[in-house]
Amino acid sequence: MSSLSNNSSSSHGNSFLQMPPIKFTKLFINGDFVDSLSGRTFETIDPRTEEVIARVSEGDKEDIDIAVKAARQAFDSGPWPRLPASERAKIMMKWADLIDENIEELAALDTVDAGKLNYINKVVEIPSATNALRYYAGAADKIHGEVLKMNGDFHAYTLLEPIGVVGHIIPWNAPSLSFFIKVSPSLAAGCTMVLKPAEQTPLSALFYAHLAKLAGIPDGVLNIVPGFGPTAGAAISSHMDIDVVSFTGSIEVGREVMQAAARSNLKPVSLELGGKSPLIIFNDADIDKAAQLALFGIMSNKGEICVASSRVFVQEEIYDEFEKKLVEKAKSWVVGDPFDPKSLQGPQADRNQLEKILSYIEHGKREGATLLTGGNTVGNKGYYIEPTIFCNVKVNFNFIKVSTSVSSA
């Protein structure tokens, strides 16, 4: 019996359908929204309904070239790197204020683009993003080097300067926070940049670009080129006029980014790659609280999070009680429309993620793991799936019993 109290009725019912206006779907290059050179577009899909939200301009290598040229010109001869740091900070602060003023619309964009809970977008993710922006705005005039004591009549010091044009490639699971974790320090340092949002979630990034221009960030400093990894992403990684690249995503693609950077101009690379995080529970734990934290650790953001506690190791003396509580809580976990404030879990970001999770569930069954609860999709539309828990999972050591939650890649 499924105890998902908010399944098919709220997963795609009209009562919670809150489609925001889609205002910006083109590339943002040198301060303007423009079509891609090829004229191609791609669909962005509402994971609640599997319906097309909008068609977004598809950037390719040629578009990345134009964006990089704009960023290079803005860095080499534009005002941004030459502004007093306190002036950069004022503009960044104004940008953050504009985001606060438009938070309802931005939160709705991330909900319909990524399936993220709307109230979490409004009270957690986007406020965290603007906090990052304000933090680095405050740090802009505190970037300094060191004075070094030398032998003899010498004076030595180090001076920190902006590195140049930065290439950013961000993931789909936290589109707003990922955007500002990368953009904010680059702006504070005086860099210019080209950013590729994930093809699953381009809409909020383009809206942020619009607000950046309203805030006074000069043309060419921030360029947004939606597109696909093998084309636009690869062009950023291998571009000879990008000075550093930052990527968040899978280990496999991270290797490709590093190789492309090395083969081109040997640009520095910053990688934040996927993890596989264990949760370990000992027999002195509050079992009810531990079960709640274990469930939240894997089901938060639908499991689409790099630090999700996808494996749970439990000390044997409390294993049976913990398992019982965890299953009870999973069965009462509310899966439904992410605009519904009662929902605890929305749909997966896209069909690929849903199918990957279902393949993991089948893999667990084939390996002989015991399915305790879940394993099924929810409703007739949308990429919804039940919280799923396996036990008796094969591991490389056998001195403890294991309970593993499966929810995402």
Residues with active-site annotation: 272
Residue 66 near residue 38 (C-beta atoms within 8 A): no
The closest alpha carbon to 200, from 130, 123, 115, 272, belongs to 115
Quick count: other Cβ atoms within 10 Å of Cβ 324?
13
CA 390-396-397 angle, to 5 degrees, is 95
CB–CB of 118/125 below 8 Å? no
Report residue 301 CA to chain centroid gap: 11
Give the tokens for residue 198: 């994930």
The half-sphere exposure of 71 on its side-chain side, counting CA atoms within 13 A, is: 32
The answer to whether residues 194 and 100 touch, using CB atoms and an 8 Å cutoff, is: no
User: Which of 291, 256, 290 lies closest to 271 in space, CA to CA?
Assistant: 256
User: What separation in angstroms does the CA of 11 have from each of 49, 134, 150?
Assistant: 8, 36, 68
Is 191 strand, coil or helix? coil
Q: With left for phi above 0 and alpha for psi between -120 and 50, is residue 56 left, alpha or beta?
A: beta
Cβ proximity of 345 and 302 under 8 Å:
yes
Q: What are residue 32's DSSP bridge partners?
A: 29
Type of residue numbered 345: Q
CA angle at residue 109 from 54 to 360, to 5 degrees? 85
Q: Are 218 and 79 in contact (CB under 8 A)?
A: yes
Q: Identify any residues that bridge with 27 across adjacent strands, giving them in sequence order.
A: 34
Q: Is residue 338 within a helix (H) or strand (E), and if so which, with residue range?
A: none
